[in-house]
Structure 1
Amino acid sequence: MTMAMIELGDVSGEPAGGAEQAPEFRHGTARRMVLAALAAVCAVALGGSARPTAPLIRTLWSIPFSEIDIMTMTDGLVLVQTYSDGPPTLTAYDAVTGRARWNRPLGDQAPQVDSFVRGGVLLMLGEQEVIETDLGNGSLNVETFGGTITAVDTATGAELWRQSAGYHLTAGPDTVLLAGRGRRGAPSTLRLVRTRDGGSLWERPLPEGAELSVQLDEDRPVRVVTSTPDGLVTVLDYDDGVPTVSRRLPRAAQEVDANNSSSFSTAPGLLMESRTTAATSAVTAYRIDTLERLWSVTATTPNLWGQECGPVVCLVGENQFRAVDPITGRERWQGTGYPFIGMVPGNELIVVTESGAEARPVLTEAATGRPVGQPGRGWVSSRGSTTGFAVLINPLAEDVTQAAVSRFDLTTGRSTLLGTIDLGSNSQCVGTGTILACQNADRLVVNEIG
Structure 2
Amino acid sequence: MSDPVIDLGVLRHGPDPDPLPRPPRANGRQLRAALVALLTLLTLAAAGAPPPRRAVVTLPVRSGADVLVDGDLAVVIEPTGTSNLQQRRLAAYRLPGGEPAWQTPLSTEARYWGVFPLGELLILTGFEIGPQGRDMTTIAVDRATGAYRWQQPGSADRLVDGNLLLRSGGESEPSVLRVVDPCCGTVRWQLPATTAAVIPRETERGVDRLILNPPNGPIEVRDATTGAVLARADLLPADGGRFGLEVLDDLLLVVDRGSGSVTAYGLDQLDRRWIRPNVTVDFAMNCGPVLCLRTGSNQLQALDPATGEVRWSSNRWGWAWGVEDRLLANVLGGGDSPDRFVVLDALTGQEVAVLGQWDLYRRDQGDQLTAVRKHPDGGVVVGEVDMRAGTVRILDVLRDARGECQVIDYRLLCASPNGSYRLWQLGR
Match of residue 147 from structure 2: 158
Q: Secondary structure at the match of 1:289?
A: coil
Contact residue 276 and residue 304 of structure 1 kept, 8 A: no
- Match for 2:73: what amino acid? L
Structural mapping, 1:351-362, within 5 Å:
351-354=328-331, 356=333, 357-362=337-342
Number of equivalenced pairs:
382
**CA deviation profile, 1:100-126 (whole Å, cap 9, x unmatched):** 222211232313243344445322224
Q: 1:100 to 1:60 in 2, by over 3 A?
A: same
**TM-score computed with the length of structure 1 as normaliser:** 0.72
TM-score relative to the length of structure 2: 0.75
38, 59, 64: which one aligns with 1:63: 59
* Residue 211 of structure 2 corresponds to residue 225 of structure 1: yes
Aligned-pair distance for 1:270? 0.9
Match of 2:183 among 196, 213, 217: 196
1:34-71 CA-to-partner distances (Å, cap 9, x unmatched) read xxx9997242688x998475325625122344432222
Mean alpha-carbon deviation: is it higher for 372-381 or for 236-245?
A: 372-381
The 1:49/1:228 distance shift into structure 2, 3 A limit, reads farther
Say which SS state the counterpart of residue 226 (structure 1) adopts. strand
The answer for the alignment partner of 2:288 in structure 1 is 310
Q: Aligned residue for 1:29?
A: none
Q: 1:194-219 CA deviation, whole Å, 9 max, x = no partner?
A: 33333322212243x21111224543
- Listed as ranges, the matches of 1:71-86 within 5 Å are 71-83=67-79, 85=81
Q: Output the CA distance in 1 between the equivalents of 2:365 and 2:193.
A: 37
Specify every segment of 5 or more residues in structure 2 that has no aligned partner in the other structure, as ranges: 1-33
CA spacing shift, 1:314–1:83, aligned 2, 3 Å = same
Matches within 5 A, 1:1-400: 41-43=38-40, 51=47, 53-55=49-51, 58=54, 60-83=56-79, 85=81, 88-119=88-119, 121-126=121-126, 128=128, 130-132=130-132, 143-146=133-136, 148-163=137-152, 165-172=153-160, 174-181=162-169, 184-187=172-175, 189-207=176-194, 209-251=195-237, 262-274=243-255, 276=257, 282-293=261-272, 294-299=274-279, 304-317=282-295, 321-334=300-313, 336-341=317-322, 347-354=324-331, 356=333, 357-369=337-349, 375=355, 377-385=357-365, 389-396=368-375, 398-399=376-377
Taking the aligned partners of 2:166 and 2:342, their CA distance within structure 1 comes to: 36
Alignment CA distance shift 1:57-1:432 (3 Å): farther
SS of residue matched to 2:38:
helix
The CA distance in 2 between the partners of 1:183 and 1:96, in whole Å, is 43
> What's the offset of the Cα at 1:424?
7.8
Which ranges in structure 1 are unaligned for 5 or more consecutive residues? 1-36, 133-142, 255-259
Match of 1:444 in 2: 421
Alpha-carbon distance change, 199 to 315 in structure 1, aligned in 2, over 3 angstroms: same
- AA in 2 matched with 1:177: L
Change (3 A) 1:363 1:84: farther
Given that 2:304 and 2:310 are in contact with CA atoms closer than 8 Å, whether structure 1 keeps it comes out as yes
Distance across 2 between alignment mates of 1:219 and 1:109: 30
- Aligned-residue offset at 1:236: 0.8
CA RMSD of aligned residues (A): 3.7
Runs of 4+ off more than 6 Å = 37-40
Q: 1:262 to 1:97 in 2, by over 3 A?
A: farther
Distance 1:242 1:433, change over 3 A: closer
